[in-house]
Amino acid sequence: MAAGLDLHVEDVRPDDGPPGAWPPEDPRPGETLPPGEKPPSGEKLPPSGPQPPRETRPVGAPRAGVGADGSPVVLVHGIAGSTADWAAVAADLATSRRVIAYDHRGHGASGRAPGGRAGYSFGLLLADLTALIATLGPAGVHLVGHSLGGVIALRYALDHPGRVRSLVLVDTAAAPATGPVAKRIVAAVLEGVAAIASGTGPAHADGRSGGTADGPVGAAEVSGSVGAVHDHRSPAQRQVEGLGQADPDALAALGRELGDYPSLVPRLGEITVPTTVIVGEHDSTLRAGARTLAHGIPAAHLAVIAGADHSPQVSRPLAWLAAVDDHFARVEAAAAG
């Protein structure tokens, strides 16, 4: 592959676990050790007392509704986000599936495009995703896209239907949101850009850059520690620091494009893979867009996450995981005929 912009990529496999966490193959809260078996040397049993709800399953068994079909799950985050956006769900999602999460150009630990705003567009993000998936081999992928990442995932599914096994679209839309609320959201993004550019916001961690502004990534930097998707900061901390890590030019260019990208609504009928549309109950700007996606994509399933905001994988991770489990159950049922 030609030299180009480096993307930060994290590869979470079923036998991986977050640093210092209970390994996936060992019991988690709600599970029990086989009779007479002791925890690994130097480790302690999970703490007693109330725990977040989990299903009880035999040690090492996959979560209900999730099977290992050899197709990786690729997570595509939204504007001003990073791989850390998936911290609350990635480890569970990877219980029995390989999960790939990456930072968009100009976001998180990925390189900044030289040349300013010209190096950032939905088309270039799509080219980056296309290049990344090409490195994963010939098998199809399950695409999960959030917000802006949902638009990029949808465009990839339309352009490369043979490479996508299923699609999960989270708090996103096939056409720009309109009206005063949507304009306020874009304005808020651009205000954040101005704060960073003026020096009142935190600077990018290392100012990384490389490659060309008008081409896709040429290499993917793969993290062996899968640290970001196991980030233990609060959601608020991740959001503030994610905005600070992002290239202001990326936020400005992509923020404006969020308001005027070409509508994909006329093409929704071309999507033939199992699709789930997820939206937070309180994401008022995108509830209508979610309904449009669910009605336009044949046999798509709409899941409204009660009490959730624009990022249900952050604010309601257990409910989000349940919706994704249901999605994969439908994928497996369709494959079984």
- pLDDT at site 238: 54
Task: Determine how many CB atoms are found less than 10 A away from the CB of residue 8.
Answer: 22
Number of domains the chain is built from: 1
- pLDDT at site 39: 40
- Asked if residue 54 belongs to a domain, the reply is no
Domain residues for 299?
A: 61-336
Q: Could you give the maximum distance between any two Cα atoms of the chain, in Å?
A: 63
- Asked if residue 19 belongs to a domain, the reply is no
- Asked if residue 77 belongs to a domain, the reply is yes
Q: For residue 328, how far is the Cα from the chain centroid?
A: 16
- Asked if residue 49 belongs to a domain, the reply is no
- Asked if residue 39 belongs to a domain, the reply is no
Q: What is the CATH number of the domain that holds 255?
A: 3.40.50.1820
- Asked if residue 4 belongs to a domain, the reply is no
- What's 112's DSSP letter? B
- Asked if residue 226 belongs to a domain, the reply is yes
From residue 332, give the alpha-carbon distance in Å to each of 5, 254, 273, 286, 335: 36, 35, 12, 28, 5
- Asked if residue 70 belongs to a domain, the reply is yes
> Do residues 252 and 190 touch, judged by C-beta distance below 8 A?
yes
Tokens 């939204």, located at residue: 78
pLDDT in tens, the chain (337 residues): 334 689 999 999 886 554 333 233 333 333 333 444 444 433 333 343 333 333 333 333 344 333 457 899 999 999 999 999 999 999 999 998 999 999 999 999 999 998 899 999 999 999 999 999 999 998 899 999 999 999 999 999 999 999 999 999 999 999 987 666 566 666 655 555 555 544 554 444 344 444 444 455 444 444 433 455 655 655 555 555 556 678 999 998 998 898 889 999 999 999 999 999 999 999 988 999 999 999 999 999 999 999 999 999 999 999 999 999 999 999 999 988 7
